Amino acid sequence: MKKLILLTLAILMISSIAHAECKGITFKGKSGASYCLSKHPMNWYSASAWCQAQGMNLVDVTKVCGSLTSTCSEFKLSDEEKTKIKSQGGTLYWSWSGISWTVSAPYCVNIADGGFGTSGYGNPERSRTDRYALCQ
């Protein structure tokens, strides 16, 4: 009986950890992979820390999108996924990625249409506070 109680407690602890990973919005890309999106905009440094607090990292667009062209089909979301994000308080806007175009200008992904790139050069780019954390 004691073993059964301990096993039940262990299962409850594991299941509560699994559900607490993303404290933002979870959605699926075209491939079916799951992503976690913050509900509030932040700078790149805060976005990176926020993803790590979720047990994840900022999305690496070179791994997810393959070549660095002007769009990424993984983030050309279905209307259903777009509605899901909006209904949870999210926004379909630019999100930080974990890969840098230059040392100081990280790529950003637009989760509305799959577009990506940077919008500026230099260290101030990482200080922008109008982008969202996109984690995997």
Residue 10 domain-assigned (yes or no): no
Query: Domain with 114 in it: what CATH number?
Result: 3.10.100.10
Residue 5 domain-assigned (yes or no): no
Share of the chain above pLDDT 70, in %: 72
Q: Which residues contact 87 (CB under 8 A, 6 or more apart)?
A: none
Residue 1 domain-assigned (yes or no): no
Q: Which of 43-47, 108-112, 115-119 has the lowest mean pLDDT?
A: 115-119
Report, as an integer, the average pLDDT of 24-42: 93
Domain count, the chain: 1
For 61-82, b/e burial (b = at least 16 CB within 10 A) is: beebbeeeeeebebbbbeeebe
Q: What is the residue range of 38's domain? A: 23-135
Model pTM?
0.76
pLDDT of residue 72: 83
pLDDT of residue 6: 44
